[in-house]
Amino acid sequence: MQVSQLLIFLILFPLIAAFFLLFARKSLERNWIVKLAALAIGAVSLWLLVAGFDKGMMMYGVSGKVLDLAMLAIELVIAVYLLWLGLKHKKYSVVILVVIQAALLLWFELTFGHTLVELPNNLFVDQFSIIMAMIIGIIGSLICVYALGYMETFHEHHKEIADRRGVFFFILFVFLSAMFGLVFSNNLLWVLFFWEITTLCSFLLIGYSQTPEATNNAFLALAMNMLGGVAFVVALIYLGTLDPSGRLLELSTLLTSGYAIAIVPAVLICFAGLTKAAQMPFSSWLVGAMVAPTPVSALLHSSTMVKAGVYIIVRFAPVLTGTTEGLMIALVGGFTFLLTSCMAISQSNAKKVLAYSTIANLGLIVACAGVGTYNLMWVAILLIIFHAIAKSLLFLCVGTVEHRIGSRDIEDMGGLIERMPKMAVMMFIGMAGMFLAPFGMIISKWAAIEAFIQAPFGLIFIIILAFGGSATLFFWSKWMGKIISVMRNQENVEKTVPQDKWTVLWILTALVVIVALIFPLISSALIEPFIMDIYGQTTRLAEANIIIMLLMLGLLILMPFSMLLESKTPKIAPPYMGGRTTEGGMKFHGSLGMSRDLVLSNYYLRSYFGEEKLFMVGVLACWGIILIALVMVVGVVL
């Protein structure tokens, strides 16, 4: 089978599954369709890996003119739909943005529609696309399977929310289809089409529960992403003016056409990427998106949506290398990393902590891509992989925990190791994957420091990493400490978690560990050839260091077994409570003979890392930097 057929399968098959799901009435039917479709998508993604990992960039012609018109028509239908919704909910900022974007698109079509030649290669695939496809195809479809059980419980808990599961799963699979389309498209018009579909899907998913809060946050996400969409269309118009035949609309041509031509569209499209990747000042939409059911958050944060944002920025990184514009984009990412890492310290809502951590990690990816040297590109791709796995695991764990203990507050997760032991171990591994040596994210942080120190102005980012990295350490460790604290006489509540969910969670947990073990292979088979093709040189960690890391990981895996080796069971004593003033059972004597339960709470250091203050700083700083970058672009155009 040809690779091109695999690409078309991956784009179209989720779409077909989506339509089946729209009409599946019984949950048994839905379960089977989702599981089989997920299996097929995962398997074909792996097939694509096997078939394409050693072939470099391959391009495929798919006859375009009819499809182009169909896409334009769909985009206009969507615009009308959004216009109607915007007017209905009185969200005039959305209305204005929709009108502007539709007008620009129509103008583009009327001006250049007759001069555009049919592009020879609308689809392409290279190692980076394959990596993205694996993330979407494996992690994305695992999340869809998890969503089956989750939504069942969700609607039992929330009787007030209309059960629209058919539509829900329809959108999930359309989302996957659009993501595949996005990473395989070589034609920027197609990229824009899929880009807008992902915006629409996330809008609909965030607003799923139809509460006023959900609707508001959905529109916030829509407005911010539409702003990026407008910048994207402007970039296309600019390219059309440069060459009315439209050859520059081919991504592979544009990326190699040099600074003078590519920098303006690169900055505009990276601006769109910043909105989609929820960088400051646009971070609030992703934080607001946590009102959605947890599988949606997991999907948005790990394998779709925000990853589309960083995908496009990493694609354009070679254009940004060594430019001031690129440095500006990198600074937006750097500040976002630093500030959101600090903001996460002050949060006790588990999903909010995860959201800020996602934004921070995306910021780091953007910083790497913005500076854009070959070794930073390597780091950026590695970060995308590690982050997707660990973050999806953590979201799904938090979702499951929330349904069992009835809270998503970290303060309520005390003693989880007694109440939900398996889940606590999974969360522990997921968090270790996010910040501890020798797991994924710390490997990337390490490589990032080594790469930044050789890059121009890299010192700024080393400092940012030094401070932001320790903030990261703080909020993960105290959360870890919360779940592993051993409170007595707790009831085990994880027995009711269905087998499907366990399967998904175990696969993701295993992936966190396996990918930390085999990342040198991923690097040499996929990332290094990709970077070699672009820059003519590549990078990797020193072999001795990789061996040391693997030995450390082995040691870490062995350590828990030390508990089995203990010759005699140690004597158990109650924790120290301060002597005479306490009685048994973790209680303190109060006045008038009252007894008070012991309550322990983590530090949130709000006076230092308060959300509002840091958010204001970030918004001002990042808007300032973005405006400078845009002014520079205007300078280039004039």
Partner 1 sequence: MIPDPWAAVLNAVIYLLLAPVVGGLIAGIDRKITARMQGRVGPPLLQPFYDVGKLFEKENLVVTTTQNFYVLSYLVFMAVSGALFFSGGDMLLVIFAFTLSHIFLVLGAYASFSPYSHVGAERELIQIIAYEPMIIITAAGMYMVTKSFYVSDIMQSAVPVVLYLPGVFIGYLIVLTIKLRKSPFDLSTSHHAHQELVKGVTTDFAGPNLAKIEIAHWYEYVFLLGVVYLFFGFNPLLAIAAIIIAYFLEILIDNTTSRVKWQMTLRSAWLVAGTLGIINLGVLYYLRMVVVP
Residue 587: alpha-carbon gap to chain centroid: 43
Point out which span in 273-281, 307-315, 385-393, 477-485 binds partner 1 (CB under 8 A): 477-485
Specify the residue, 473 or 532, whose C-beta has the smaller distance to partner 1: 473
How far apart CA 629 and CA 264 sit, in angstroms, is 10
How far apart CA 417 and CA 479 sit, in angstroms, is 12
Judged by DSSP in three states, 200 sits in helix
Is residue 598 a contact residue for partner 1 (CB under 8 A)? yes
DSSP state of 137: I
Specify the residue, 228 or 415, whose C-beta has the smaller distance to partner 1: 415
Q: Tokens in use for 14?
A: 């989720």
Is residue 557 a contact residue for partner 1 (CB under 8 A)? no
Judged by DSSP in three states, 221 sits in helix
Point out which span in 177-185, 207-215, 350-358, 596-604 binds partner 1 (CB under 8 A): 596-604
- Closest separation in Å from C-beta 512 to partner 1: 16
Specify the residue, 106 or 484, whose C-beta has the smaller distance to partner 1: 484
236 and 72 Cβ atoms separated by less than 8 Å: no
Rounded (10°) angle between helices 374-405 and 350-371: 170
Q: Which position has the token pair 């003693």? A: 415
Specify the residue, 273 or 415, whose C-beta has the smaller distance to partner 1: 415
- Closest separation in Å from C-beta 623 to partner 1: 24
Is residue 593 a contact residue for partner 1 (CB under 8 A)? no
Specify the residue, 243 or 409, whose C-beta has the smaller distance to partner 1: 409
DSSP state of 455: S
Specify the residue, 268 or 338, whose C-beta has the smaller distance to partner 1: 338
How far apart CA 616 and CA 622 sit, in angstroms, is 10
DSSP state of 282: S
Report the run of H or E that residue 176 belongs to, with start and end. helix 165-184
Give residues 523-542 in contact with partner 1 (rule: CB under 8 A). 542
Strands of 314-363, DSSP E: none
Which residues have C-beta within 8 Å of that of residue 619, sequence separation ≥ 6? Answer: 280, 281
How far apart CA 147 and CA 172 sit, in angstroms, is 10
118 and 65 Cβ atoms separated by less than 8 Å: yes
How far apart CA 336 and CA 623 sit, in angstroms, is 11
Virtual CA dihedral for 621, 625, 626, 630, nearest 10 degrees? 150
- Closest separation in Å from C-beta 604 to partner 1: 10
Q: Which DSSP string do the residues of 313-358 spell out, in sequence order?
A: HHHHHHHHTT-HHHHHHHHHHHHHHHHHHHHHHT--BHHHHHHHHH
Give residues 146-175 in contact with partner 1 (rule: CB under 8 A). none
Specify the residue, 480 or 525, whose C-beta has the smaller distance to partner 1: 480
Among 89, 155, 478, 540, binds partner 1 (CB under 8 A): 478
Angle at 170 (CA atoms; ends 29, 183), nearest 5 degrees: 125
Point out which span in 198-206, 209-217, 349-357, 434-442 binds partner 1 (CB under 8 A): 434-442
Closest by Cα among 74, 287, 289, 283 to 195: 74
Is residue 562 a contact residue for partner 1 (CB under 8 A)? yes
Is residue 327 a contact residue for partner 1 (CB under 8 A)? no
Among 495, 571, 584, 631, binds partner 1 (CB under 8 A): 571
Strands of 358-439, DSSP E: none
Closest by Cα among 406, 404, 398, 317 to 357: 398
- Closest separation in Å from C-beta 75 to partner 1: 47
Is residue 602 a contact residue for partner 1 (CB under 8 A)? yes
Q: Tokens in use for 221?
A: 């996400």
- Closest separation in Å from C-beta 602 to partner 1: 7
Specify the residue, 149 or 415, whose C-beta has the smaller distance to partner 1: 415
Among 1, 66, 110, 544, binds partner 1 (CB under 8 A): 544
Q: Which position has the token pair 């591994």? A: 429
Among 88, 90, 260, 603, binds partner 1 (CB under 8 A): 603
How far apart CA 613 and CA 593 sit, in angstroms, is 44
Point out which span in 132-140, 190-198, 433-441, 616-624 binds partner 1 (CB under 8 A): 433-441
Is residue 548 a contact residue for partner 1 (CB under 8 A)? yes
Specify the residue, 484 or 493, whose C-beta has the smaller distance to partner 1: 484
Per-residue binding letters, 435-474, with partner 1 (x by CB under 8 A): -xxx---x---x--xx--x--x--x--xx-xxx-xxx-xx
Specify the residue, 255 or 586, whose C-beta has the smaller distance to partner 1: 586
Residue 615: alpha-carbon gap to chain centroid: 20
Is residue 559 a contact residue for partner 1 (CB under 8 A)? yes
Among 484, 493, 550, 617, binds partner 1 (CB under 8 A): 484
Is residue 578 a contact residue for partner 1 (CB under 8 A)? yes
How far apart CA 225 and CA 206 sit, in angstroms, is 13
Is residue 374 a contact residue for partner 1 (CB under 8 A)? no
Is residue 617 a contact residue for partner 1 (CB under 8 A)? no
- Closest separation in Å from C-beta 263 to partner 1: 24
- Which residue type sits at 608? Y
Site residues for partner 1 per CB under 8 A: 414-415, 417, 436-438, 442, 446, 449-450, 453, 456, 459, 462-463, 465-467, 469-471, 473-474, 477-478, 480-482, 484-487, 542, 544-545, 548-549, 552, 555-556, 559-560, 562-563, 566, 569-578, 586, 598, 600, 602-603, 605, 607-608
